[in-house]
Structure 1
Amino acid sequence: MCVGRYKYHSFYYLLYNAGEPKKKRRKKEHSYALLLAYQGKRYCGMQVQKDQPTVEGELFKAMAQCGYIPEEDIFSPIRFSFQRAARTDRSVSAARQMCSMRLFLENHENFLKTATGELNKHLPDDVRVLGVRRAIRTFTAHRDCDKRTYSYTLPTFAFARPDELTTSKYRISEISIADLNDVLAMYKGTHNFFNYTSGKLVSFYRTLS
């Protein structure tokens, strides 16, 4: 009798609910690490700004176009816990820049497979996503970064002596290069760099290799 009642109710449930749409898969929040590279020449730094071209501005617009974030979050990255390992200024480029974020997505596995290609379709040629990986829940690119590598390029006439002519034909001498390297070598190792900071850091000690 119980079995018959079960079949009876199941039949009418299927009859009256056959036309109802299936429930959408619930979106789940996951943490991700995104590796970025960009040429900063035409940008006013990395950090997103309204009315200014920035690297993050291009990235967030691409993310919105792909449906990874709502359009209203483009200028509010705190809403998806976005962090970058290091902030770069106007015209500064990055060969490798690590970013972290938390996203609500319906299909996590598909995102990992396709996000790099989909984002690059919507990004300008001077901003490229190199890869996306799942991260642990507590990962943040800024806090968990334990090392940063910087490369500075400048014309050699910046090191010319006051009495030297610095026309376009100027080339620094081997002796001057050796003297410069001797001075720069003094910064190697662990030192207190208080005089090079705003004075608001937790620690002023840094190690240069």
Structure 2
Amino acid sequence: MDSPPEQKKLKMSSTTSDDDETPATVAGDAPAESETTTKKRYKRRKIAIFLAYSGHGYQGMQKNPGAKTIEGDLEEALYLSGAVPESDRSTPRRYDWARSARTDKGVSAAGQVVSGRFYVDPEPEGFAARLNSHLPSQIRVFGFKRVTGSFNAKKFCDRRRYVYLLPLFALDLTVHRDRESVAAAVGSENELSRCVECSERGRKAPGVMGRWAEPAAVIEISAEETESKEGRRFCYGEEVKERFNRVLGFYVGTHNFHNFTSRTKAEDPAAKRYIVSFTADSVVVVEGTEFVRCEVVGQSFMLHQIRKMVGLAVAVMRNCAPESLIETALRKDVNITVPTAPEVGLYLEECLFSSYNQKWKDSHEALSMETYAEQAEEFKMEHIYSYIVSMEQKEGAVGLWLHSLNHRNYPDFRFGESNIDCISGDRIQILNADIIDDNTQILKNYTSGGDTQIENISSSGEHKQIENDCSSVGHAEVENKSG
């Protein structure tokens, strides 16, 4: 008589169903002393994890070999807490890992969402406690919510809300003047140490303003410099608020943001982004320092995009550039360099899942930060806001950056719509160079066949301006040269 076939053993993999269970043994735990010892068993579930973090000391959210990242620490905590088995360690695709937003270096988050299949406690609080015990204090998990099997935190997120805390003094024209004004005040031609994005990396460049390198001068800049020369305290009144919101409103809608990132060309479809709203309606006071809360909501954002949008808007508010330059920068056929605000004031406020919540409202809990609002607010005050204030008080991150907003560092501030309307070519290329004398300028337009080259040359002679007709241009190149 034939014996019955041997029963097949179940395999543990990323395709494990939601009902699979595993003992609650975490990495490093000793085996049970007795066979009769009762072990907790966790079920593998598809979940969305809500967390917050301070970006200080991290090179962004996304895991990158050799770099300290939020994902790197989070993945290790998932393994150490038993949420991810040994077989899936360091292989995120095996547990369907996805993130809602990829924050850049130094950028924080108060409402980040990641998803995957993990072994979880019956109660979200227990799972969060397990994870947090293996995480540094600047990364906190609030909890999780069950989601559908096909859920993906990146693909199902239809909006991202970011906030940039801008020190109020940045909008006061009487403080933190440009380099020329400061040099005149201190009687020195030495450049200031500053945090600028001329290098597109936000590193400190002592003695560097634009492309000129000179010995650095140590000048103390106070973050409390919020009073005007007349002794009147600057406030975010209705007139300033109305103008700032109007300026930010230029970004709303679908535009080509190739000038607001460093890795995407105008022809790339990825350069086209949709901004739902961009407002600055309130002032936040943290440790005695006032900040304007700039809130932007969009489908998605590119590298440095928000910081560049804020940077150009501040330049306009400080009358360093015309309002028309924003519309010019959003043109596909124009290449210009715009300033990038320091990363310290930017954080991810919330990831929105409106379509998902509407579709699955009858069977799944809505995905939102409402449940964790109190925890998120506490984290912001303790880790995000406090760091922003300390950076401004100790290093004057924004104050130093404001000194770079001048025509010497950003010659393209001179180019508004009125300067390029006469060019009807396929493309306009503006090449930046240093301008020695702001009061002298010679403009020459050379037309030769289908190509036009426009040279903007600085000289120390008398002021001249020559403009020729360039109505029939196939290709235009604008070049600024120092003379």
TM-score of the pair, normalised by structure 1: 0.71
Note closer, same or farther for the CA distance 1:155–1:117 as it changes in structure 2 (3 Å cut). Answer: same
SS at match of 1:50: coil
Matched, 1:83 2:98: yes
Alpha carbons 1:61, 1:71 under 8 Å: kept = no
Matched, 1:30 2:42: no
Deviations 1:166-204 (A, max 9, x none): 94364385589444333113334x232444462342963
Alpha carbons 1:157, 1:171 under 8 Å: kept = yes
CA apart distance, 1:60: 0.9
SS at match of 1:43: coil
1:110 to 106, 122, 134: 122
Note closer, same or farther for the CA distance 1:70–1:200 as it changes in structure 2 (3 Å cut). Answer: farther
RMSD: 3.1
1:204 to 258, 261, 273: 273
Partner residue, 2:115: 100
d(CA) in 1 for partners of 2:251 and 2:59?
30
d(CA) in 1 for partners of 2:71 and 2:141?
12
AA at the equivalent of 1:136: T
d(CA) in 2 for partners of 1:113 and 1:181?
40
Alpha carbons 1:34, 1:132 under 8 Å: kept = yes
Deviations 1:106-163 (A, max 9, x none): xx55364521111111111000001112111111111111211111134566665646
Note closer, same or farther for the CA distance 1:29–1:122 as it changes in structure 2 (3 Å cut). Answer: closer
CA apart distance, 1:208: 1.7
Matched, 1:58 2:73: yes
Deviations 1:33-90 (A, max 9, x none): 1001001101111111233211111111111111111356454322211111110011
Note closer, same or farther for the CA distance 1:184–1:82 as it changes in structure 2 (3 Å cut). Answer: same
1:146 to 141, 158, 166: 158
Note closer, same or farther for the CA distance 1:73–1:158 as it changes in structure 2 (3 Å cut). Answer: farther
Partner residue, 1:41: 56
1:129 to 141, 160, 166: 141
| Bigger shift: residues 87-96 or 150-159 | 150-159
Note closer, same or farther for the CA distance 1:71–1:154 as it changes in structure 2 (3 Å cut). Answer: farther
Note closer, same or farther for the CA distance 1:202–1:100 as it changes in structure 2 (3 Å cut). Answer: farther
Note closer, same or farther for the CA distance 1:75–1:26 as it changes in structure 2 (3 Å cut). Answer: closer
Report the identity percentage.
Answer: 34
AA at the equivalent of 2:139: V
Larger RCO, structures 1/2 (Cα 8 Å, 6+ apart): 1
Higher strand share: 2
d(CA) in 2 for partners of 1:182 and 1:33?
37
Partner residue, 1:192: 255
Note closer, same or farther for the CA distance 1:170–1:81 as it changes in structure 2 (3 Å cut). Answer: same
d(CA) in 2 for partners of 1:71 and 1:45?
26
Higher helix share: 1
AA at the equivalent of 1:146: D
| Bigger shift: residues 73-82 or 25-34 | 25-34
d(CA) in 2 for partners of 1:43 and 1:49?
11
Matched, 1:69 2:84: yes
Matched, 1:181 2:193: no
| Bigger shift: residues 162-171 or 49-58 | 162-171
d(CA) in 2 for partners of 1:170 and 1:152?
20
Alpha carbons 1:44, 1:90 under 8 Å: kept = yes
d(CA) in 2 for partners of 1:200 and 1:31?
32
AA at the equivalent of 2:104: D
Deviations 1:82-111 (A, max 9, x none): 1111100111100100111123x4xx5536
AA at the equivalent of 2:153: A
TM-score of the pair, normalised by structure 2: 0.33
Stretches of structure 2 lacking an aligned partner (at least 5 in a row): 1-18, 22-42, 183-219, 228-233, 279-483
Alpha carbons 1:33, 1:98 under 8 Å: kept = yes
Note closer, same or farther for the CA distance 1:29–1:200 as it changes in structure 2 (3 Å cut). Answer: farther
Note closer, same or farther for the CA distance 1:66–1:186 as it changes in structure 2 (3 Å cut). Answer: same
AA at the equivalent of 1:39: S
d(CA) in 2 for partners of 1:127 and 1:167?
31
d(CA) in 2 for partners of 1:26 and 1:155?
51
SS at match of 1:90: coil
SS at match of 2:122: helix
d(CA) in 2 for partners of 1:75 and 1:50?
11
d(CA) in 2 for partners of 1:73 and 1:48?
16
